[in-house]
Amino acid sequence: MTQGAGQGPVVRTATLRDFRVPPYAQVPVQGHSAYPQPQGAPVPEPPQRQPVAPPPAQQVPPAPHPGNAFPEEEFPDGYTPTERDLPVINRGDTLQVSVTPDAAPEPAPGVPGPGPGPLYVVGDVHGYLDELLVALREKGLVDADGHWTAGNTRLWFLGDFTDRGPDGIGVIDLVMRLSAEAAAAGGYCKALMGNHELLLLGAKRFGDTPVNSGAGTATFQAAWLLNGGQKNDMDRLQEVHLQWMSRLDAIVEQDGHLLLHSDTTAYLDYGATIEDVNDTVHSILTRHDADECWDLFRKLTKRFAFRDDGGADAVRELLAAYGGRRVVHGHSPIPYLLGEVGTEDADGEPVVPVVAGPHVYADGLAIAMDGGVTMAGRLLVQQLPLAD
């Protein structure tokens, strides 16, 4: 948040992220095999993005960029930087696919014609609209003004558009607009339901209504704030955003890739087929039952099912039910899956995570796409399939 002329210092209240597995997500999922959650102490806080001083009053501020973003180098009122906290397990048996940043934007990847265009996926955005626009431009999916330039390309967002970052509503506005522009060009831009969409919907609909969390009582409002909820997002949230989020699918299969947000087998609780899962999730959101919505949020906040012993079997369990040859997910940041957070170099300095690209693991059956943009990582946009 940037202070205006004549304003005093602004006090920022640090809030926790849901990078750790919260207590309400640790209740075992019934009906299929359970996979243990990781153990470990909280890790040191990585460097945070710092607000930049505003331009002098006599200067004309930069115009807002596409997606209803805030002016460059300026945080909106109500933006709260958040801390990081997640158990870390060092791993040496995983593979990270290197994706070298482009020196210049790529040519438009899709051209109108028969058959589907190339397939791209986008990891967790969490309100970082500037970073999203840069990543999309680097892949040739949008132009300098943020408009679709990718012809019949197919683009899937894997969920978690809001919270933690400064402009979650701007991200949703951009994705909604790109959906219309892509359809007009012969392609499409679609999105999946993330746990933070469920959290924002619940905070708006149910507020401080107590829910049965499985570990006592809780509220959506408290959980939303605890997990990086931003006041400026809530203030700008409109009915069109609520309707859009509530209609998102939870899981889809594309070209042999099973796309979903969370690295958990909890989707199996909601149906034996992709259609069943999506219909069940939509029905739950339609019924507006706080306890039922909380249980859905709790289960889709679980993580790490595909990591460690039994991880490949967990992926196979999902693939056997829903089809596909690989799972592609967001939710769990790659730096944590790789064990690169909380470590020190030879001089005792904290190691800053470097995310080169998607993370392939679980015997090559899972691809993680959350590049950790909220922890100075990278917002990933990747074409599928990846080379084996």
Domain for residue 327, yes or no?
yes
67 band by pLDDT with thresholds 50, 70 and 90: low
pLDDT digits (tens, 9 = 90+) for 250-296: 999 999 999 999 999 999 999 999 999 999 999 999 999 999 999 99
As a whole number of angstroms, the distance between CA 283 and CA 315 comes to: 26
As a whole number of angstroms, the distance between CA 173 and CA 180 comes to: 11
Domain for residue 369, yes or no?
yes
| Predicted model pTM | 0.79
Domain for residue 99, yes or no?
no
Q: How far is CA 358 from CA 35, 246, 364, 369, in A?
A: 23, 28, 12, 5
Domain that holds residue 284: 106-384
As a whole number of angstroms, the distance between CA 285 and CA 281 comes to: 6
Domain for residue 25, yes or no?
no
Rounded to the nearest integer, the mean pLDDT of the chain is: 81
Domain for residue 8, yes or no?
no
Mean pLDDT of 47-76: 51
Strand partners, 365: none
Q: Give the strand order in the sheet containing 188-191.
A: 188-191, 154-157, 119-122, 381-384
pLDDT digits (tens, 9 = 90+) for 167-223: 999 999 999 999 999 999 999 999 999 999 999 999 999 999 999 887 778 999 999
- Give the pLDDT score at 71: 54
pLDDT digits (tens, 9 = 90+) for 124-134: 999 999 999 99
Domain count, the chain: 1
Domain for residue 95, yes or no?
no
Q: Is the pLDDT of residue 69 over 60?
A: no
What CATH number does the domain containing 350 carry? Answer: 3.60.21.10
Domain for residue 291, yes or no?
yes
As a whole number of angstroms, the distance between CA 95 and CA 386 comes to: 12
Domain for residue 293, yes or no?
yes
